[in-house]
Structure 1
Amino acid sequence: MASSAGPGTIDPRLLRAFLAVAEELHFTRAAAGLYVAQQALSRDIRRLERELKADLFVRTTRQVTLTPDGERLLPYARRVLEAQDALLAEFRRADAEQRPLLVDVNSPGLVFERILARARELAPDCELMARFESGLTGAAAELLAGRLDASFGRFAGLDPAIRDRLEQQPVRYEPMAIVLPEDHHLAALDAVPLDALAGEHVYAGAGNPRTLEWTDLARRLFEGRGIEVAPPAPLAVGAEEFQRIMAKKRNPVLAVVDFPAMPASVLRPLVDPVPLSPVSLVWRRGLAHPGIDALRAAVAELAAAEGWLQRPADGWIPAMDARLMMIRS
């Protein structure tokens, strides 16, 4: 570098700023990735250059490139930050082992309870506590606030800025179904062709801010098929309330094949095509806890044993969901 007299210490935050710019070669994108203002990022880079007495980047109106000193610093910065991350993860893990892991299983009776039960078997010394948040959009806010540790749902349905702060592991392509009043004209069918719902107003959580990802999936599925998303209805909690609202509104309800049985209604799988609800295990980025390891192992085990990640030939799924379901954190 330009001077043989090195600094006494370097703030790792400055190295993170340098690494972000070095990898993006773009200050605006690097600042967005670090969730800082571009001016603050530029200020940190200038401070690092002063401390090292070296120019690290060549900046023009068109591009950003590394100088020879920047190239020289890059592998050292990576090693220092990897070591710091490992150190912090070790101490976070030690601290995490002393507290329970809070796991959202959405609603009682769904497949996520099986995953939780298997994770408890795999990590008997951990306390994994069930929570019922009902909706990944709502659960994601709780994850980022630290009031929840893990949840399940449609990862692609979250805002990209939220997804960037979370990690995910694909769990299942869950076939979708329809809940019908038991005297509905389609209730006699063993399976309901999607086109048979044309003209229906199907409830899919519209108006519920905690389930925006589910309503969005429904709209994508119904588009061009003559099916409408039913207007908002009171949120029914429990079988009796579900029965009362179903009897009053009489709207079919979009669900999944594992949806628990409800009184005075029938559950029928959807076919032609088979619409799929893409489900991931979702947790806060950087969270270290043996309970998360157990959940991930349980997901991998059950998905492999039961073929949860095998898409049927006539399965339907949005392209954006298909791409994200191929990614393993």
Structure 2
Amino acid sequence: MSASPSPHDLDPRLLRAFTAVAEELHFTRAAARLYVAQQALSRDIRRLERELGTELFVRTTRQVSLTPDGARLLPYARRVLTAHDALREAFRAEPRPLLVDLNSPDLAQEQVLRRARELAPDQELMIRYESGLTGAAQSILAGRIDVSFGRYGGLDARLRAQLDSQFVRYEPMAVVLPEDHPLAHLPAVPLARLAGEQIYAGAGNERTPEWTDLAARLFAGRGIEIAPPAPLAVGHEEFRRIMAKHRHPVLAVIDFPAMPDCVIRPLIDPVPLSPVSLVWRKGLRHPGVDALRRAATEIGTRSGWLTRPPGTWLPEGEPGLPTPGALTGPARSG
């Protein structure tokens, strides 16, 4: 670096503050991620800069960016924090409960969780319910949950850089239609029949941009539009009310639960697939994560989840998918 570091040991809290700002490039978002006041975060950054004898950020009224020394520090800070967290976990009296997020109505996730509990009966795997993998990933990095499921390849690259993943399955996609929709009588809906429709795919929901992006890629060139943002419906009655008001079909997966006054129909010609992965924080060591990974591999192999059916659709260049013919394992970040 441009100046000699202080001889004193660096407080991991200061490195955690630095890493959050470096990844968010925004003090307000970084403070929210760490659950601290922005003023306290700024004080920690100034203290770290004093101890290292160098500026780490260029701050203007419009943006925050890393200095060359800040960019140089970041990979070291990440490694130190990973080792610090691993050390803390290694000397716990007993492994803490693992908080497992089931962020979508996916029966496969529940199967994996049940089997993991059988494989590790002494571990406590506690269910949480987030909404969308982007929102869940932010909760993982903030320490509110440990593991989630979803489209790893649809996450922002900055999030993927802080996470590990294991592919779980290719999940066929579907559409939820009002029961009186002209296509509701079909046993399966060809994508071409949706031309001219506006399909709701979570537009405007900051927790699910990976799902909206998947829809945009699927609809491109097919004459299908993404419906404008609508209030997030929680519960059957709210879903019924919003569907009755807006009348937009909803992009879903085949395991989507039955909703009142609606039907769910698989999409075909081609069958679009939503890639689902198990996702956790880089460096996390916990017997529950090991059990979840074993369960996902075991069930996926037995059920054919890891093999892409011929003639199906996937987004091009999707990160985190298994190499054909290879066993599934941790995906590379970025």
TM-score normalised according to structure 2 size: 0.72
RMSD: 2.9
- Counterparts in 2 of 1:96 and 1:182: CA distance versus 1, 3 Å: farther
Question: C-alpha offsets along residues 152-198 of structure 1, whole Å, 9 cap, x if unaligned?
Answer: 00011111111010000000110000000111110111110001000
User: The residue matched to 1:320 in structure 2 has which SS?
Assistant: coil
What does 1:275-294 align with in structure 2 at a 5 Å threshold?
275-294=272-291
Give the number of the structure whose alpha-carbon radius of gyration is greater.
1
Does residue 38 of structure 1 match 2:68? yes
User: The residue matched to 2:267 in structure 1 has which SS?
Assistant: strand
8 Å CA contact retained: 1:96, 1:288:
no
CA distance in structure 2 between the partners assigned to 1:239 and 1:109 by the alignment: 16
- Counterparts in 2 of 1:284 and 1:233: CA distance versus 1, 3 Å: same
- Provide the residue aligned with 1:324 in structure 2: 320
CA distance in structure 1 between the partners assigned to 2:108 and 2:206 by the alignment: 23
Question: C-alpha offsets along residues 205-227 of structure 1, whole Å, 9 cap, x if unaligned?
Answer: 00100000000000000011000
Does residue 180 of structure 1 match 2:177? yes
Consecutive unaligned residues of structure 1, counting only runs of 5 or more, are 1-8, 13-30, 45-80
User: The residue matched to 1:171 in structure 2 has which SS?
Assistant: strand
CA distance in structure 1 between the partners assigned to 2:113 and 2:195 by the alignment: 38
User: The residue matched to 2:213 in structure 1 has which SS?
Assistant: helix
What does 1:71-150 align with in structure 2 at a 5 Å threshold?
89=86, 92-95=89-92, 97-108=94-105, 110-150=107-147
- Counterparts in 2 of 1:262 and 1:92: CA distance versus 1, 3 Å: same
User: The residue matched to 1:111 in structure 2 has which SS?
Assistant: helix
- Counterparts in 2 of 1:246 and 1:281: CA distance versus 1, 3 Å: same
> Pick from 306, 311, 327: which aligns with 2:308?
311
CA distance in structure 1 between the partners assigned to 2:277 and 2:260 by the alignment: 29
Identity %: 63
CA distance in structure 1 between the partners assigned to 2:322 and 2:308 by the alignment: 12
- Provide the residue aligned with 2:258 in structure 1: 261
1:88 deviates by 7.1
1:86 deviates by 8.4
- Provide the residue aligned with 1:19 in structure 2: none
CA distance in structure 1 between the partners assigned to 2:85 and 2:245 by the alignment: 55
Consecutive unaligned residues of structure 2, counting only runs of 5 or more, are 1-6, 11-55, 57-64, 324-328
CA distance in structure 2 between the partners assigned to 1:139 and 1:284 by the alignment: 11
1:94 deviates by 4.5
User: The residue matched to 2:276 in structure 1 has which SS?
Assistant: strand
TM-score normalised according to structure 1 size: 0.73
CA distance in structure 2 between the partners assigned to 1:96 and 1:278 by the alignment: 37
CA distance in structure 2 between the partners assigned to 1:255 and 1:161 by the alignment: 26
**Number of residue pairs matched by the alignment:** 263
1:325 deviates by 0.6
What does 1:43-82 align with in structure 2 at a 5 Å threshold?
none
Question: C-alpha offsets along residues 84-124 of structure 1, whole Å, 9 cap, x if unaligned?
Answer: x8897465245284311111101456321221111111111
